[in-house]
Amino acid sequence: MAMDARKQRVLEAIVALYALDGEPVGSGLLANYFDMAVSSATLRNEMAALTRLGLLEQPHTSAGRVPSAKGYRYYLDHLLQGPNATVLGEEDRQRIDALFDAMDAEPEKLAPAAARALADYTGCAAAASTPRADDLCIAHFEVVQVGRYSAAVLAVTSAGGVRTRVARVDTGLSRSDAAQLAQLLNRNLTFVSPEDLNATLSAKLRVAAGARLAPVIAAAEALVRTGPQVYLEGAQYLAQKTDVRQNLGALLELFSDNRTAMELIEPGSSRVTAKLGEDLEPAMPNLCVVSKRYLAGGGLTGTMALIGSSRMAFSRLIPILNYFAGKLGEGMSGKRQEEQT
């Protein structure tokens, strides 16, 4: 049985109506949606055909229909990729612009702030990653004395971002120690990939620094090994949704590890893409992860994602996600700062 244009319109309408209140959609409500241009009898036939195709389900014998996981997949793959799929209204643009104008420009602060703002703006959970690239490395180190017993190790990445770690030195740290450590790190650890930071190099640095200052070396090595970070915000919104809150524990466990979190939100292409909870490992029924890649300049990319019910209002939320991702990319590439100077 083929999916003709009318079946597509019926499926699209049922997805939209079911998103409003979570109630099964009957032929009468569907006829009103089409302004009575299609009879209830015709719509019942189309709904029955979509059910046979596995795109709709009937929770109860006398109830209307709801989209199945297969139906959502068809909707997301075929009915949300038109030229207007990511068009956002001017009022939303202005409000989102104002949110970003108030955010800290540091990458490690901008990513969680953007995810938090997206979650609050949409009522879904949201995630954002810091930019990444295969050749990203540390280009410069600074060691700053912080009090008598602590040192802040600052690392500037080849993309211009800043990473920071604090190390405690129990025997005390002088300004001279800090300057010598910075020279040591810049001679040996700049433009070194995590794979090249081996035991031999690590031992060499500790011998050169001395056992007393080894914690500072350890902090610098941790910065070299630090990959892109993934931040999850707005988990409380999932807890409020009865159809997905049972997945919250499994989701938080995935986000406890950067690698698995990155795999979860990574889009399959440069377009907005979606993963359904039924297809995940472990499976999370009724959940949906909608992701968009952003460009941060210099070959760097990151991801923003919305995480919510599979009956989320896709036609409204996808343009919002797309615009948020674009704004985050601008902020990460420094365009926002350039415009303000």
Q: Taking phi first (over 0 means left), then psi (-120 to 50 degrees means alpha), and beta for anything else, what does residue 101 get?
A: alpha
The number of distinct structural domains making up the chain is 3
Rounded distance, CA 211 to CA 214, Å? 5
Q: Which pLDDT band holds residue 332 (cuts at 50, 70, 90)?
A: confident
pLDDT at 219: 95
The CATH number given to whatever domain includes residue 319 is 3.30.450.40
Tens digit of each residue's pLDDT (9 = 90 or more) over 222-273: 999 887 889 999 999 999 998 899 999 999 999 999 889 999 999 877 788 8
pLDDT over threshold 50, residue 341:
no
Query: Could you give the maximum distance between any two Cα atoms of the chain, in Å?
Result: 86
Mark whether 240 and 323 lie in a shared domain. Answer: yes
Of 273, 285, 281, 286, the C-alpha closest to 321 is 273
Q: Band of the pLDDT at 336, cuts 50, 70, 90? A: low
Residue 107 has pLDDT above 70, yes or no: yes
**Residue 121 Rama label (left phi>0; alpha psi -120 to 50; beta):** alpha
Q: Do 163 and 280 fall into the same domain?
A: no
197 and 164 in a common domain: yes
* First-to-last C-alpha distance (Å) of the chain: 60
User: Position 184: which residue type?
Assistant: L
Q: Which domain does 149 fall in, by range? A: 138-225
Across the range 54-65, mean pLDDT stands at 83
Per the domain annotation, does 85 fall within a domain? no
Last residue of a domain, one of 36, 51, 78: 78
Radius of gyration of the chain (CA): 25
Per-residue confidence (pLDDT) for residue 60, from 0 to 100: 77
- Is 215 in the same domain as 249? no
**At which residue do the structure tokens 């120690």 appear?**
177
Looking at the structure, tell me whether residues 99 and 243 fall in a common domain: yes
Residue 84 covered by a domain: no
* Residue 85 to residue 290: CA distance in whole angstroms: 13
Q: What is the mean pLDDT of residues 270-284?
A: 88
Which of 106-110, 252-256, 298-302 is modeled with the greatest confidence? 252-256
Query: What would the two tokens of residue 121 be?
Result: 């703006």
Name, in order, each residue with C-beta under 8 angstroms of 14's C-beta and a sequence gap of 6 or more: 25, 30, 47, 50, 56, 65, 66, 67, 71
Q: Are residues 237 and 195 in the same domain?
A: no
Two structure tokens written together for 271 = 């377009």
Within a domain: residue 268?
yes
Distance CA 311, CA 220 (A): 45
The domain spanning residue 73 has which CATH number? 1.10.10.10
- Measured CA to CA, the distance from residue 153 to residue 237 in angstroms comes to 37
CATH (domain of 207): 3.30.390
Residue 269 pLDDT: 78
Residues 261 and 156 in one domain: no
> Is the predicted pLDDT of residue 202 greater than 70, yes or no?
yes
